[in-house]
Amino acid sequence: MAHLIPSSQPWVEKYRPKQVKDVAHQEEVVRVLANTLETANCPHMLFYGPPGTGKTTTALAIAHQLFGPELYKSRVLELNASDDRGINVVRTKIKDFAAVAVGSGNRQGGYVCPPYKIIILDEADSMTEDAQNALRRTMETYSKVTRFFFICNYISRIIEPLASRCAKFRFKPLTEDVMSSRIMHICNEEGLSLDHEALTTLSSICEGDLRRAITYLQSAARLYGFSISSKELISVSGVIPQGAVQALFAACKTGEFDTANKEVSNVISEGYPVSQMLSRLFELIVSSDDISDVQKARICKRLAEADKCLVDGADEYLQLMDVASHLMRALFDMPQEMQFD
Ligand SMILES: Nc1ncnc2c1ncn2[C@@H]1O[C@H](COP(=O)(O)OP(=O)(O)OP(=O)(O)O)[C@@H](O)[C@H]1O
Ligand SMILES: [Mg+2]
């Protein structure tokens, strides 16, 4: 249906590469899969890496290129975290699909059509250990007619026996150059104008996650029209502006508790996420030249503790206030704890 109402289609889907060769920045896997397309040889695969780097895209692209639209349904089983993939499904649905024999691989209509099926298990790190264990035998028993593609963010959550049966590929975060060129491509297609500063801002706030970059771009285009500035991108992305981080740091540098308190209240009332503020303060402090190593160490220790407290559900205002007061004490070389004697 999506083609009937093109304007409402999310750009992440619209600009998802259809062919393996169009996947940017993941040279190793692209090379191996190009070889698969020629020879139809394919090992079990394990793709891992941070979000938005092309893992799902690559797996879907190779499956489409191997089988084409006609055979895709009968040859590819796609399961992700929204499907049940507990041990029962492994024993029934996956096993049944894996066991079905398939015809020999003839090239049909330009597609390679190898003599096996593909099972794509997306977000495999959310599968239970039992379910993963149950897959070990299935993978071996049906290896003649079935290949598995595991996709995950955290490879440590895939049990070793599964990982060792697969060819592993790490998907790297995209570099700013690669991100910029993909974004420029979308801007050209959509008729957006983005100046150089906006482009670098977008590439740097997304930290190698192209999906995030494309989503921000589309939100900004909806809100602000066809000419988008760096400031507008920052506001749709919800990242804390550098000015706000510096203001808090400057307030702590004055050494006056009231000034710092006012800035902290400001951060809270603006609704900035405190955990993000801690990371930004961390970056600022580590790169400051006018703070000694000992001071940096003291501050960072407290930042780490506050981060942990926030994860455990502590109050944002109190934690940030505590960080600010520690920061002041460290900057003025005051003892960590007050002594009353
Ligand atoms: N290497 C890449 N080359 C080109 N486009 C990419 C690349 N990586 C991501 N994209 C873009 O980002 C979108 C999301 O990518 P994809 O779904 O493949 O991410 P993923 O690695 O599976 O992430 P997650 O771990 O969150 O599932 C794609 O639709 C595509 O537009
Ligand atoms: Mg994915």
- Sequential DSSP letters for 144-172: TTEEEEEEES-GGGS-HHHHTTSEEEEPP
- In tens, the pLDDT along 134-163 reads 999 999 999 999 999 999 999 999 999 999
Q: With a 6 A CB cut-off, is 57 part of the ligand 1 pocket? A: yes
3-state DSSP assignment of residue 100: coil
Kindly state whether residues 30 and 120 are assigned to the same domain: yes
Dihedral sign of CA atoms 294, 287, 302, 331 in order = positive
Q: With a 6 A CB cut-off, is 16 part of the ligand 1 pocket? A: yes
Is residue 283, in this structure, part of any structural domain at all? yes
Parent domain of 13: 2-170
pTM of the model: 0.85
**Among 107, 109, 103, which Cα is nearest to 74's?**
103
Ligand with the closest atom to the CA of 59: 1
pLDDT of residue 107: 77
Q: How many residues does the chain have?
A: 341
Q: With a 6 A CB cut-off, is 114 part of the ligand 1 pocket? A: no
The pLDDT mean for the chain works out to: 92
Q: How far apart are CA 206 and CA 208, in angstroms?
A: 6
Kindly state whether residues 44 and 186 are assigned to the same domain: no
* CATH number of domain containing 43: 3.40.50.300
**At a CB cut-off of 8 Å and minimum separation 6, what does 179 contact?**
202, 203, 206, 208, 210, 213
Kindly state whether residues 149 and 285 are assigned to the same domain: no
* CATH number of domain containing 277: 1.20.272.10
Neighbours of 94 (CB within 10 A): 24
Is residue 341, in this structure, part of any structural domain at all? no
Q: Quick one: pLDDT band at residue 220, thresholds 50, 70, 90?
A: very high
Kindly state whether residues 139 and 180 are assigned to the same domain: no
Distance from the CA of 55 to the center of ligand 2, in angstroms? 6
Domains identified in the chain, total number:
3
* CATH number of domain containing 183: 1.10.8.60
Q: With a 6 A CB cut-off, is 54 part of the ligand 1 pocket? A: yes
Is residue 26, in this structure, part of any structural domain at all? yes
3-state DSSP assignment of residue 272: coil
Is residue 27, in this structure, part of any structural domain at all? yes
Q: Which residue type does 244 have?
A: A
Q: With a 6 A CB cut-off, is 23 part of the ligand 1 pocket? A: yes
Is residue 191, in this structure, part of any structural domain at all? yes
Asked if pLDDT for residue 111 goes beyond 90, the answer is no
